[in-house]
Structure formats: structure tokens, C-alpha cells
Chains A and B, each alone.
Chain A
């Protein structure tokens, strides 16, 4: 899997005069191979512009974008796009194509033999949890919004691209289904390790999915780090309030570690927290140690439980649940 690098990329749309800020201004950003990086920020900050420059649906005004070793403008746009998965909020499924035909679009463009395409469609529909026999022949309008977006994801993955671009893919989907799809994406990503650029303005979604988050504001990346660091050490007031970091941290400080603690594992972590610690203490300890997991130890040094970073973040991403858990 290649990485993606933005080097001093600027995009100024035609109409913008000297007074209008560029939609993306002098951004340098490295997206590590195999990571899911979220572009997070308020409406109009340039997330979609960033994303669409990667598959050349938008051409930068200046700067370079590399995928692996190659600058993307060395590659003909259609070739480039056939090797990058692209998922959008409105799904953009072809309404006159069946689910199977939709998923087969890129393999067909690439001239894959029929058999290979059919096998791949089967495999992908299974991967996104749509039983092929039931769904293959349906038209998009015969699917729920959540199912449509599963097809959208399967379609984007059809030719096994190394890079995927997702623009608010779950933005138009109800909260419960959205959570399902997020979990599904996490599961799939754990299997396939694509390099994914994921745009959202949903903070919970970003915290839940991202390996790293690039927080954007008016065309610039103001902070780029792991969710944990962003929450605990926001660069400035803007990042802090965008993430609701203060609220999350305050709530976390009200919740005892015991409430989310799991049974101690085989090899307890060397990062230790006390049984009466709160979640905020755990967060600090993990950030300080750069660890994924903490052991809860009693006064005698005996491990009585464990807390994983994933669990901590998942709960941090759901302030309502934290609030109830804490009360």
C-alpha cells in the first residue's frame, strides 16, 4: 500500500480574488500507508477539495500530490481514478444498473475477464454483508440507504485499489445504521489495510475511525495527530472546541475506570492506573506512555482489570453514553 503526500498544495477556485482565501492553502500532509486518516473540520474548510485533488477530480493550483513514488499528474486521470476507490455521501450508484453491475463497473473498465469479475462481486458483497444471492440482482432503489452505501463501498473496492477516498460516506444515514457501517468499515479496514482518506464533520465518527485526524480550518490543516493526542492536547482553542475536547474530558473525569474495565489479560500492561482512577487519568497515563492499553492495579500491585485505548476512544466518542455511565 502506498502512502499519500500533499506537498505545498494550494487550490484557489476561479472566482476567488486576492481577498478570498484559497479553498486549500499551502497544505503539506503525509498520510501513512495503510492508515485511515480523517479530514475533519467545519463546512467549507476545504475537506472535499483536498479529497478530490487526490483523484484529480479537482486540479490543484500549485503543489504536488504523491501516491507512493509517483506524482499523480504523471498518470492519466482515468487510469489514476480506476486505481483509487471513491465513495461519496450520495452514493452515486447507477440507478439503471443492478447491484452486481454497479460493483463491476471498474473491473469492466479495466477489462477483467467475466469470471474474475463475477467472483470478485460475490466476494465483495459478502465482505460488506449483503448476501449475494439476495442482493446481486436488485436495483439501487430497492435497497435501504445503508444497503446502498454498502454497495457503494463494495464498488469502490472492486478492483482492489490501494487507496480509498471517502467523502462523508455515512453522512446521510440514520444514526443507528451509521454506527453499524462505521463498525463494518473498521472491521474491513482491519482486514485489508487500505490507505484511506475519510472526510467527515462528525467528531464522534472521526474519533472512532481515525488512525490520525487532520483538523482543517479555512483551507489549512491546523493540527494533525492521533485522536488521543488531539483530545488531550488540542493545539488551540479552535481544535479544542471543534472536538468538544473540554466536554469530553470533563465527562471522562467523572467516570470511574471500573465502569469500563475488562478482565485482566495474560500480560498486563506496564502502564498502571489505580482502581479509583477516572477515565481522564487513564487517558493521561496512556498518552504519557504512548501505550495502547493500561492495567488497573490495586494497592498490592495485583492486576484487577485492563482498559484498552480503543475502548476508551469508543466511549469518548459517545458522550451520551458516558454521561449515563457516569451518573
Chain B
């Protein structure tokens, strides 16, 4: 391993890492805001379940290069195209986990809640979401790791991030293997760290104790 790039350019690496985290966080925030209502909707209205997940599943399988190239044509180059692509990728896992989590909530528990006079809203927020949370966090874990990986491609879009080190290193005719290695290791470590963090979060949610 050659860490010379890191020791020579600590500022650049740190900035790239910061950008990568930023893109990932922004992606997940937007993706969750869309996925929670969408997942809730398809868990409720079962005729929507298969078509919505079908479409999201197809998006999920499009290679990220292809999707990004396509979006750059329509949305233009810049972070916006990357965000659209990343959010679209994350939808499948997130919507699936929200819907699966909600569908897995014991109907007797919901019936008891309704029978005691809880409103639909109270049932959703006090029973269904808390009980679906372990499954939702599991989905978030997968989506986070995937987003961190795919966000490397965002460098193509001038959005920066650790992907910039990778592409830069590969494209540069004076190929700096160290730059590629540092970029790759940094992305991997980031993904592992995020996974561990969310795994801990998963264990900490109250419903996991109840399971």
C-alpha cells in the first residue's frame, strides 16, 4: 500500500471525504423523505405494492454510469444529476423496507389500538412506525452502504467526493497508484464505518428489544 498521496495531500483527501459524506447524507435525507410516505402508501394500498416496487426495482438494476449519463443530458452536469440518481437508487431498498416493516406489524396489535380509541394517526406513529423501525433501519443500512459506493460515480458529474480521487488517479497519464488506493480505501472505510454505526442504531431501537 502506498499512502504517499495522503501524506502529500491531506487537505485534498479530507475535503473529498467531507464531500462524500455530504453527498451521502443529503441523498439519504431526501430519499427517506420520499420513501417513508411512499412505503406507507403501498403498504396500505396493496394494488400499488407490486407495480411501485417493480419500477423501483428496475431503476435499481440500471448501471449507475448509464443512469448518470442519461440524467446529465436532461438535468445537466452538476451535483443535481448525481443526487437524482443516488436518490432514485436508494428508493428501492428504502421503500421496500418501509413497506415490509409496516406489513409485518401484528394486525392484532393494530386492532387493539383501534379498539382502544386510537386515531389512525396515533396508530401509525405510536404503533406501526415504532414496530417497523428495526426493518426500516436494516433497509437504511443497505441503502447507506450502496449510496456511499455509488456516490463515487458522482465525480463524473463534477460533484466531487472520494470518487474524484479514483477517477483522477485512473485518468492521469502519470497514473498515481497511490491516489487510487487512498481513494478506494477511504470509500471502503467510510462504508464500513457507516454500516457499524447503523448496526448499533438498529440494536438500540426499542422495538428490537421487544422482538
Centre residue among B111, B127, B209, B210 by max chain A CB count within 10 A = B210
Main secondary structure of the interface of B (DSSP, over half): helix
Q: Which residues of A contact B207 (CB under 8 A)?
A: 95-96
Chain A positions within 8 Å of B, measured between CB atoms, are 55, 57, 77-83, 86, 88, 90-96, 105-106, 109, 139-141, 155, 165
Question: What is the distance, in angstroms, from A100's C-beta to the closest C-beta of chain B?
Answer: 14
Contact: A95 with B211, CB < 8 Å? yes
Partner among B114, B117, B119, B127 whose Cβ is within 8 Å of the Cβ of A94: B127
Task: State A95–B211 Cα separation when bound (angstroms).
Answer: 7
Q: Which residues of B contact A155 (CB under 8 A)?
A: 116
Q: Is B69 an interface residue (CB 8 A)?
A: no
Task: State A132–B44 Cα separation when bound (angstroms).
Answer: 38
Interface residues of B in 113-133 (CB under 8 A from A): 113-119, 122, 127, 130-131
Question: What is the distance, in angstroms, from B114's C-beta to the closest C-beta of chain A?
Answer: 6
Partner among A57, A93, A139, A140 whose Cβ is within 8 Å of the Cβ of B115: A57
Contact with A along B78-118 (1 / 0, CB 8 A): 00000000000000000000000000001011111111111
Task: State A60–B131 Cα separation when bound (angstroms).
Answer: 32
Q: Which residues of B contact A92 (CB under 8 A)?
A: 106, 108-113, 115
Query: Which residue of B has the minimal Cβ distance to A81?
Result: B117
Which 4 pairs from chain A and chain B are nearest by CB? A92-B112, A82-B117, A81-B117, A90-B108
Query: Which residue of A has the minimal Cβ distance to B122?
Result: A109
Contact: A95 with B210, CB < 8 Å? yes
Q: Which residues of A contact B130 (CB under 8 A)?
A: 96
Contact: B210 with A96, CB < 8 Å? yes
Q: Which residues of A contact B116 (CB under 8 A)?
A: 81-82, 86, 105-106, 109, 155
Query: Which residue of A has the minimal Cβ distance to B115?
Result: A86
Q: Which residues of B contact A82 (CB under 8 A)?
A: 116-117
